[in-house]
A and B are shown apart, each in its own frame.
Chain A
Amino acid sequence: EVQLVESGGGLVKPGGSLRLSCAASGFTFSNAWMSWVRQAPGKGLEWVGRIKSKTDGGTIEYAAPVRGRFTISRDDSKNTLYLQINSLKIEDTAIYYCTTLGGSYTGYWGQGTLLTVSS
Chain B
Amino acid sequence: QTVVTQEPSLTVSPGGTVTLTCGSSTGAVTSGYYPNWFQQKPGQAPRALIYSTSNTHSWTPARFSGSLLGGKAALTLSGVQPEDEADYYCLLYYGGAWVFGGGTKLTVL
Contact = CB atoms under 8 A, between A and B. Distances in A.
Given A101-B36, A102-B34, A107-B57, A45 B100 contact: yes
Interface stretch (B10-18, B44-52, B65-73, B75-83): B44-52
Contact of A101 (B1, B47, B98): B98
Contacts of B1: 64
A107 B89 contact: no
Interface string A42-79: 00111100100000000001111000000000000000
Contact of B47 (A37, A50, A109): A109
Contact of B103 (A45, A99, A102, A110): A45
Nearest to B1: A64
Contacts of A101: 36, 91, 98
Nearest to B98: A47
A110 B96 CA distance: 23
Among B36, B91, B97, B101, the one with the most A-chain Cβ atoms within 10 Å of its Cβ is: B97
Interface residues of A, number: 22
A111 interface: yes
Nearest to A100: B48
Contact of A45 (B46, B51, B57, B93): B46
Contact of A108 (B48, B100, B101): B48
Interface string B19-45: 000000000000000101010100001
Interface in A84-114: 97, 99, 101-102, 106-112
B3 interface: no
